[in-house]
Amino acid sequence: MVEAVKQFAIDAPEVKSRRFGLIVIGDEILSGRRQDKHLSKLIELLNERGLSLSWAKYVADDPEQITATLKDSFASGDVVFSTGGIGATPDDHTRHCAALALGTTTALHLTAQELIAGRIQSMAEGDPTKADLNTAENQHRFKMGEFPIGSNIIPNPYNQIPGFYIREHYFVPGFPVMAAPMMAWCLDTHYQDLFHRENWAEQSFIVPKGIESVLTPLMEHIEAAYPDVKVFSLPSVGDVSRGGVYAERHIELGIKGNAQLLDSAWIALRAGTEALGYEIHDIVKPQ
């Protein structure tokens, strides 16, 4: 059987203190009216660059909750992406809450003002009334450029209405078609020095009828003996459609960490599992 070894890059020891987080803001996500696409996309963008997501939170369109969440994340020192709530409707609280969390206020960003004005002009298509920046409707649109003082803009290639960043927090729209390229720009502009720092490997095997409580002491022993290695356990009740060992109750047991450090831990995990009386089935890599 062919061992399943998934390899990708991850931050080196000096980078491990940098964690990436995601805050998804919006009642529509929590109510189920919309399905979140930001989590999977950010994971994909990070993994492509040899990075990983450390945490994610879902937050309602509630100013107190948003402010409290941002206070915590600003204090964490993490690199954080926040999606949603930066428009100009009554339920868009993120810009103001970010300012409150930082103990400051919002102000119209000059570059954002220029970009929004340009968007208004292009959408007017020559109609002088629609192009008049002094109308109440267009003045309201400029609210989308009011960011916490000290912010910088994030370019929006979709419609030119920018997001903003401050204190390594990157605020982008709730629309995935806009958010994805904006998050990619943030990573490529500010964190290239963290990309692909070290070979990371993940290896696992199937333990038919495995019981986590029986395997847990072994997992703890492996992590204690090999501090730079993490052990994971993914239990399943079985999937008949996959057939074979996957059709019955099983556990996918594995390790992950620096590829150069895994060999001894891998041997110990396999030997320990067999010593407990379990069979091991290696995962066949898809061709």
Q: For 101-118, how does the pLDDT look when each residue is reduced to its tens digit (9 = 90+)?
A: 999 999 999 999 999 999
**pLDDT band (50, 70, 90) for residue 285:** low
* DSSP element (H, E) containing 24: strand 20-25
Task: State pLDDT tens for residues 54-77.
Answer: 999 999 999 999 999 999 999 999
The SS3 call for residue 23 is strand
CB 5 within 8 A of CB 201: yes
- Superfamily covering domain 15-194: MoaB/Mog-like domain (3.40.980.10)
Q: What global pTM score does this model have?
A: 0.79
pLDDT by residue (tens digit) across 133-165?
999 999 999 999 999 999 999 999 999 999 999
CATH code assigned to 199-282: 3.30.70.260
pLDDT value at 5 more than 70: no
- Does residue 17 carry a pLDDT above 80? no
pLDDT score for 3: 38
Confidence of residue 191 (pLDDT cuts 50, 70, 90): very high
CA distances from 236 to 210, 253, 272, 276 (A): 10, 11, 21, 19
pLDDT value at 94 more than 80:
yes
Annotated domain spans of the chain: 15-194, 199-282
The residue type at 42? L
Residue 174 · residue 158 · CB < 8 Å? no
Domains 15-194 and 199-282 share a fold: no
Q: What is the mean pLDDT of residues 159-176?
A: 97
Confidence at 202, pLDDT banded by 50, 70, 90: confident
- Going through 49-197 in order, the beta strands assigned E by DSSP cover 53-59, 79-83, 106-108, 146-148, 152-154, 163-166, 169-172
Long-range Cβ pairs for the range 173-176 (8 Å, 24+): 173/83, 173/84, 173/86, 173/87, 174/25, 174/26, 174/83, 174/84, 174/85, 174/86, 174/87, 176/37, 176/38, 176/41
Residues forming a β-bridge with 53: 20
Q: What is the pLDDT of residues 220-275, one digit of tens each?
A: 999 999 988 999 999 999 888 888 888 899 999 999 888 888 999 999 999 999 99
Q: CA 266 to CA 5: how far, in whole Å?
A: 11
Enter the DSSP assignment of 127.
-
What integer pLDDT is reported at residue 127 of this predicted model? 87
